[in-house]
Amino acid sequence: MLSNNMNRKSKFWKLIEEYFSCVLPPIFLPVVLGGCGTTSYLADISYMQDYDVEPVDALDPSACGPYSYRTYFYGSGDDKHRKEYGEGVDFKTEPVDARPFMGGSNGMPRYWGFDFDRLPLNGRVWFPEGDGPFPLVLIVHGNHNMKDFSDPGYEYLGKLLAGRGFIAVSVDENFLNQKFGGENDARAFVLLEHLKAWDKWNQTEGHAFEGKVDMDRIALIGHSRGGESAAHAAAFNRLERYPDDANVKLNYNFAIRSVIAIAPCDGQYKPAGHPTALENVNYLVIQGGHDADVATFMGLRQFKRVDFTDNNFRFKSAVYIYRANHSRFNTAWGRLDAPAPISWFINDKPIMDTESQRKVAEVLISAFLEATLNGRDEYLPMFKDIRKAGQWLPEDIYVNRYEDSNFKVIADFEEDYDVTTTAIPGGKLLGENLKTWKEAYIPYRTKGGSTQENAAVVLEWEKKNGQDPNSSEIGSYTVKLSPEFASELDLNRDASVIFSIGTESEGQRKPLDLTIELCDDDGNCAALPLGSVGPVHPALMVRLAKWKRLEKKHIEKFSERLLQTYEMPIHSFIESNTSFDPSGLESIRFLFDRSDNGIIMLDDIGISM
């Protein structure tokens, strides 16, 4: 991770700054670094045009909704620097004592005029006009220059959501920016205190918000450190006491249904030293491939740590946007992910234009909230396959993961180090004619050995010259089910086979294809090419700096290892062989017969009922 710092300046950019300060006087840097970079390394998007995908049958979620709305400000009423939180507030709030969450910090900067025991609850609100009650959505920024206020930067989201019938609040946490580290638990605490204020207003007779807030439909959205803290808030929400000091009571228990993280950090704070796990909440994480602040997909860790354990339907989705960066999701943060002179080094030529990047955020965030807070199931297919939203999204390469509470895992490679065992009792894994067969944690592209904290099986094959695709010596990987598990599943044509695959090699510049074969206990097999639903994406190369050699100081690989989730309906296999009986499913085989060679990561093999 490149953003574990005080000023949103990564270690990577600090190295660049130090390097050039020794080589050239700063006055000459703009001349030397003139131009906006290169796009020569970008993956060719044309391969995505070879696949016809039926679009989502729904209205554009980024379109203006039917509601007019009003803007309000609430806060301390005595802010020294912003009128909207000073004399301009519509509703005053009481400060909160965050001292237990700021251990090790040296105190607030004098600039603010208050200390940790009196943190303000400031928010800018876009409120739909009508009787309600309306769902409540809190949006919180991440780390940035504390005097360059971040909370106005989500106005584009606030207006969109309010027009569609959501109460949108951009939460001010600028006072926690720039001077601290490891404060994401305090950020989470402040978010929950905002919810407490909203709950009180909703129940206060005569208040403008009385009875208009649906406290049973709440979502949290966070960007950067805010993305990490939104997850902490959802976790703290269900705890009786603060993990790092049990003398501090929590007991919030709000109905937080959904969490959205935009380019989040991960692990800057760990409750009692443990990674934050979420249970029974919907989760969406989005990440730009050309993010020069959080320069690797850290949110995949939290994605992995979201579990569904009750009987309600929920889902989680992760979306990688190849040409997006970090800052353009917030209008207050500028175009690039670092200030001058560091910004002179950023390779900004390939980055998606500002309006397009915010369009992506509007489409994904609005659709996710419609699906999870308003029960608009028509948007669900786009999170299973992001290409189904292609009519609304700017042209780019998108890679997405998906899992819902209907998923039954067969093999996720987390249970042990035995490469032949599955996650279910009695199952068996078998690789044949493979150059590489091993299980490993998926590494991030940065140096230092950090991983996605997610294990997968790595499979490599190499066909011999002139080898018959039907040869028994073709490489394959087979997942065998026990009869007891197959009987318990009782599969029918309405189920689907689910798995996730990504290329492991940075040298893979073209998409891969393979065959998926299902066999029943009578020996009837049905096979389909993976290409019937989509490709294995090639390596998506990323260049953050204008000069490649600068990145080699911190980057191990110039492409992120990304998994794409695939869903292959059982009825499609039956159509290819009507003798195949899914109720007696015995094996799922991945046959490497359609590309001459390749090396992939395979994960989360299972069934969706």
> 139-171: per-residue pLDDT in tens?
999 999 999 999 999 999 999 999 999 999 999
Strand (E) or helix (H) holding 371? helix 354-373
Residue with tokens 């390749």: 598
Q: What share of the chain is helix, strand, coil (3-state, %, to 5)?
A: 25, 25, 45
176 pLDDT exceeds 60? yes
Segment 525-551, tens digit of pLDDT = 999 999 999 999 999 999 999 888 888
Q: Between these two residues, 16 and 348, which has the higher pLDDT value? A: 348
Nearest CA among 179, 185, 186, 125 for reference residue 151: 125
> Is the separation of the CB atoms in 558 and 41 below 8 Å?
yes
What are 262's two structure tokens?
């935009």
| pTM listed for this prediction | 0.94
Q: How confident is the model at residue 52, as a pLDDT?
A: 83
| Residue written as token pair 């993961």 | 401
What is the SS3 assignment for 469? coil
Q: Would you call 239 exposed, middle or buried from its count of C-beta atoms within 10 A (0-12, 13-18, 19+)? A: middle
Alpha helices (runs of H) in 204-343, residue ranges in sequence order: 225-236, 299-304
**Domains of the chain by start residue, with CATH:** 45-405 (3.40.50.1820), 408-608 (2.60.120.430)
Centroid of chain to Cα 550: 27
User: Tokens for 468?
Assistant: 């018959």
Given a contact cutoff of 8 angstroms between Cβ atoms, the answer to whether 220 and 175 are in contact is no
- What does the block give as tokens for 73? 């400000």
Higher pLDDT, 595 or 337: 595
Residue 522 has pLDDT above 60, yes or no: yes
Nearest residue to 410 via CA among 474, 491, 476, 513: 491
Residue type, 536: V
Closest CA to 293 of 329, 269, 331: 329
Sorting pLDDT into bands at 50, 70 and 90, what band is 34?
low
Q: What is the mean pLDDT of the chain?
A: 92
Size of the chain, expressed as the number of residues it contains:
609
CA distance 91 to 600: 55
Per-residue pLDDT tens digits for 52-78: 899 999 999 999 999 999 999 999 999
Q: How far apart are CA 403 and CA 334, in angstroms?
A: 34
Tokens 């029943």 found at:
520
**What pLDDT is stored for residue 50 in this prediction?**
76
| DSSP code, position 417 | S
Share of the chain above pLDDT 90, in %: 82
Residue of 221, 83, 238, 60 whose CA lies nearest to 153: 221
Confidence of residue 418 (pLDDT cuts 50, 70, 90): very high
Residue 228 above 60 pLDDT?
Answer: yes
Read off the pLDDT of residues 263-290 as tens digits, 9 standing for 90 and up: 999 999 999 999 999 999 999 999 999 9
